[in-house]
Amino acid sequence: IHFSGVDMGEACTIVLRGATKQILDEAERSLHDALCVLAQTIKETRTVYGGGCSEMLMAKVVTDLASRTPGKEAVAMESFAKALRMLPTIIADNAGYDSADLVAQLRAAHQENKITFGLDMTRGTVGDMAELGITESFQVKRQV
């Protein structure tokens, strides 16, 4: 977000316009969400790699731990790892890409210890989130 003509620290007004009330309401919700993310990012500056990278890494660690855990606990851990792997699937699906193929590629990359790899939805490929500069708020991931 870029504000021009406003001194740093000064208050300003954002005017939203829309063809219908529904469009205007959606624009207001979207702006509110964006401003909340901005405020959280200012309060909590830590970030993690995006594009499903952190979820895939967590899933791999949980799966590895489950393989060394006896009993029903291992089944629960595997289910949790599967749920974590669903997040990259949702990212790819929402972007209109073949999620099965992309998530399989991402999982293979993480098995090869490419732990900074995630989904690059600009290109529809798996890429290095560190090189691409794709990050997201640690605060959001902390809730996962």
pLDDT in tens, 18-73: 899 999 999 999 999 888 878 877 888 888 999 999 999 999 999 999 999 999 99
Which residues are 117's β-sheet partners? 128
Q: Is the dihedral of CA 52, 54, 60, 65 positive or negative?
A: negative
Q: How confident is the model at residue 82 (pLDDT cuts 50, 70, 90)?
A: very high
pTM of structure: 0.73
Q: What pLDDT does 37 receive?
A: 79
| Residue 81 CB contacts under 8 Å (≥ 6 apart), including other chains | 58, 59, 60, 62, 63, 66
Per the structure, the complete domain to which residue 9 belongs is given by 1-43
Residue 28, helix vs strand vs coil: helix
Both 26 and 66 in one domain: the answer is no
Both 23 and 60 in one domain: the answer is no
Dig out the tokens for 78 from the structure.
């595997």
Both 28 and 62 in one domain: the answer is no
Is residue 129 a contact partner of residue 53, using CB atoms and an 8 Å limit? yes
What is the count of structural domains for the chain?
2
Between CA 59 and CA 15 the distance in angstroms is 43
Both 65 and 133 in one domain: the answer is yes
Tens digit of pLDDT for each residue in 103-123? Answer: 999 999 999 999 999 999 999
Both 95 and 72 in one domain: the answer is yes
Q: What pLDDT does 2 receive?
A: 59
Question: What is the gyration radius of the CA atoms in the chain, in angstroms?
Answer: 19
Q: What pLDDT does 57 receive?
A: 95
Both 53 and 37 in one domain: the answer is no
Between CA 75 and CA 124 the distance in angstroms is 32
Both 57 and 80 in one domain: the answer is yes
Both 95 and 58 in one domain: the answer is yes
Both 63 and 132 in one domain: the answer is yes
